[in-house]
Amino acid sequence: MIETVVVIVHLLVAIALVGLILIQQGKGAETGASFGSGASGTVFGSQGSATFLSRLTAVLATVFFLTSLGLAYYASHKAGQVRDAGLPVPALQSQPVAPVSEDVPVLEERAPQAPATDDVPVVD
């Protein structure tokens, strides 16, 4: 039950995080202003106080990481339960291994032939 809630929260936070990141303006969005199209004092200066969207993004990123860790814990816990459930280990089937020489077809051995000299053009 709680795992389902964590998965739902994780998905909602992931979608919200992607949306918030896409609607925010980058720090270099006003870089064009420094090349003559206007005056801007914040292009290379300090950012100042963080905006509401950047703080909300940080909070959502923290919640996303915490839910990721929670889901990883649930997955490892369930893997341990399956391992400790006492399921029989499948018996290894030992089949007789045939010698390699029987598996690989052997070609007839031929005597080495002299290279044909007729194929090479003669330059005068």
Q: What is the value of pTM for the model shown?
A: 0.52
Indicate the range of 12-26, 33-47, 52-66, 107-121 predicted with least confidence: 33-47
pLDDT for 48 beyond 60: no
Average pLDDT, the chain: 75
Instruction: Find, among 15, 17, 40, 14, the residue nearest to 29 by Cα.
Output: 40
For 62-71, the pLDDT digits (tens) are 999 999 999 9
pLDDT of residue 25: 77
Q: Binning pLDDT at 50, 70 and 90, where does residue 44 land?
A: very low
Answer positive or negative: Cα dihedral of 101, 103, 107, 108. Answer: positive
Return d(Cα 75, Cα 100) in angstroms, integer: 44
Return d(Cα 79, Cα 18) in angstroms, integer: 31
Q: Binning pLDDT at 50, 70 and 90, where does residue 59 land?
A: very high
pLDDT for 102 beyond 70: no
pLDDT of residue 60: 95
The 3-state secondary structure of 55-121 reads HHHHHHHHHHHHHHHHHHHHHHHHHHHHHCCCCCCCCCCCCCCCCHHHHCCCCCCCCCCCCCCCCCC
Percent of the chain at pLDDT > 70 equals 49
